[in-house]
C-alpha cells in the first residue's frame, strides 16, 4: 500500500457549510520527499474567525486561493502519479481531516482514491503502547506549525519511528 499522511486546515468544523482552506500530504517512505500542498478558495460564505486563525491566513487571503475543483483534480493526479499500489489515508485526526478530503473529492470529482476508510495515527500509537493516554507527538521531528505540509511531515516521521523503532508491521512502497 502507499501510505499518504494528510493534514487539513479549515475555517470551520464541517465541510460544506465551511471550507477547507489548505491541506498537505506526504508519501510515507524512507525519503519523505514527495509532498503536495493545496490552498483552496472558500466554498461558503460561512467561516469562523477562530478556526481560520489557526491557518494563519486572513479571509481576504483565502478568497485569492485556487479553485477547489482544480486543486482536488491536481491532488488526484499527484496521488495516482506517486502511488505504486492502493493509496491509504493516514492522519493524526482522521475524524476531522478525512471528512474534508472525502467530501471535497466526492463533491468536486465524484470519486475518492482512498476509498471509504482512513487510519488514525494517534489511535495506532495508543494500540501499540497499550495506553489510551499515550501520545505519539514526541516522535515528530518537524515542528507542528499548522502549515499542513509541515504537520503531515511530522506525522509521517512519527509513523516511520513506529515502524523502525517500535516494530510496527506496515508495508511502505
pLDDT tens figures, 85-96: 999 999 999 999
Whole-model pTM over 0.75: yes
pLDDT at 135: 96
pLDDT at 84: 86
pLDDT band of 100, cuts 50, 70, 90:
very high
Domain extent listing, the chain? 2-166
For the domain bounded by 2-166, which CATH number is listed? 3.30.420.10
- One-letter-per-residue 3-state SS of 89-109: EEECCHHHHHHHHHHHHHHHH
Q: Of 142, 153, 145, give the one whose Cα is nearest residue 32.
A: 153
Residue 91 φ/ψ, nearest 5 degrees:
-160, 160
Mean pLDDT of 67-93: 97
Residue 60 has pLDDT above 80, yes or no: yes
pLDDT at 9: 98
Residue 173 has pLDDT above 90, yes or no: no
Q: What percent of the chain has pLDDT over 70?
A: 100
Residue 49 has pLDDT above 80, yes or no: yes
Q: How far is CA 149 from CA 58, 116, 117, 163, in A?
A: 19, 23, 21, 21
Residue 167 has pLDDT above 90, yes or no: yes
Residue 67 has pLDDT above 80, yes or no: yes
pLDDT tens figures, 137-147: 999 999 999 99
pLDDT band of 163, cuts 50, 70, 90:
very high
Q: Are 25 and 150 in contact (CB under 8 A)?
A: no
Report CA Rg, the chain: 16
Which grid cell is 110? 465524484
Residue 122 has pLDDT above 90, yes or no: yes
Q: Of 112, 83, 76, give the one whose Cα is nearest residue 2.
A: 83
Amino acid at each position: 500500500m502507499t501510505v499518504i499522511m494528510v493534514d487539513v486546515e479549515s475555517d470551520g468544523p464541517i465541510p460544506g457549510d465551511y471550507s477547507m482552506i489548505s491541506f498537505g500530504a506526504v508519501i510515507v517512505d524512507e525519503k519523505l520527499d514527495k509532498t503536495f500542498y493545496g490552498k483552496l478558495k472558500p466554498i461558503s460564505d460561512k467561516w469562523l474567525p477562530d478556526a481560520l486563525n489557526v491557518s494563519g491566513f486572513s479571509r481576504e487571503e483565502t478568497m485569492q486561493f485556487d479553485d477547489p475543483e482544480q486543486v482536488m483534480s491536481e491532488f488526484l493526479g499527484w496521488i495516482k502519479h506517486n502511488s505504486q499500489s492502493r493509496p491509504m489515508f493516514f492522519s493524526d485526526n482522521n475524524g476531522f481531516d478525512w471528512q474534508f478530503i472525502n467530501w471535497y473529492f466526492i463533491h468536486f470529482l465524484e470519486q475518492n482514491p482512498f476509498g471509504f476508510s482512513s487510519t488514525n495515527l494517534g489511535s495506532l500509537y495508543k494500540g501499540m503502547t497499550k495506553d489510551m493516554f499515550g501520545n505519539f507527538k514526541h516522535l515528530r521531528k518537524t515542528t507542528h506549525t499548522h502549515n499542513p505540509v509541515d504537520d503531515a511531515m511530522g506525522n509521517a516521521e512519527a509513523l516511520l519511528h513506529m515502524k523502525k523503532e517500535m516494530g510496527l508491521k506496515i508495508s511502505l512502497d
